[in-house]
Structure 1
Amino acid sequence: MSGSLSCPHCSAQAVVRTSRSESPLLRLSTLTCRNAACGHQFEAYTEIVCTISPSACASGEICLPTNSHEENRALRTRMSEPESSSPGANFE
């Protein structure tokens, strides 16, 4: 997967001409098709939807779900820990 978008009409590569932040997780971009015969101009949203690898300097203002691969790895790690290390394991 590349970092560029294709024109929805002719499939040529499109170029971002302008963009503006709508929020910390959403950006609106205006794109132009590189195919001069097509000339299509369009807008597209880029949205940050989940965390794949946690940030080392996370902002408390941003709340993103984790990618299922990350959740599965964390669950496997928790399940492989000895029972005595889990909270409340020493209660009688």
Structure 2
Amino acid sequence: MRFTIDCPHCKGRVIARSSRYMSITLREIVFVCRDPECGHTFVANLEAVRTLSPSAKPNEAIRLPLSPHVRERVMKQLQLLVD
């Protein structure tokens, strides 16, 4: 799957011109509209916000919450171990 984003003004395609590391889970990305008649340039944030599948190589510095449905599944699995 390839991530794409449209220009918020003309709905045309944009390209990522640059990005900047803000934190271990956040990047700031500068996008430029490919339509020369529009020319809109804007900044967007890309942030990891929750875990869908826990890492097999966890980084102790990362504190992403489990998605509610994942947390429920894990709790059910743990309950099976107790029963």
TM-score under structure 1 length normalisation? 0.80
What is the CA–CA distance in structure 2 between the aligned matches of 1:82 and 1:64, rounded to whole Å? 26
- Structure 1 runs not aligned, ≥5 long: 84-92
TM-score under structure 2 length normalisation? 0.88
- Structure 2 runs not aligned, ≥5 long: none
Q: CA RMSD in A?
A: 1.6
What is the CA–CA distance in structure 2 between the aligned matches of 1:82 and 1:28, rounded to whole Å? 44
Moved more, 30-39 or 72-81: 72-81
Q: How much does 1:2 deviate?
A: 5.4
- Superposed structure 1 runs of 4+ greater than 3 Å apart: 79-83
Larger Rg: 1
Match of residue 29 from structure 2:
29
Determine which structure has greater relative contact order: mean sequence separation of CA pairs < 8 Å that are 6+ residues apart, divided by chain length: 2
What is the CA–CA distance in structure 2 between the aligned matches of 1:61 and 1:38, rounded to whole Å? 41
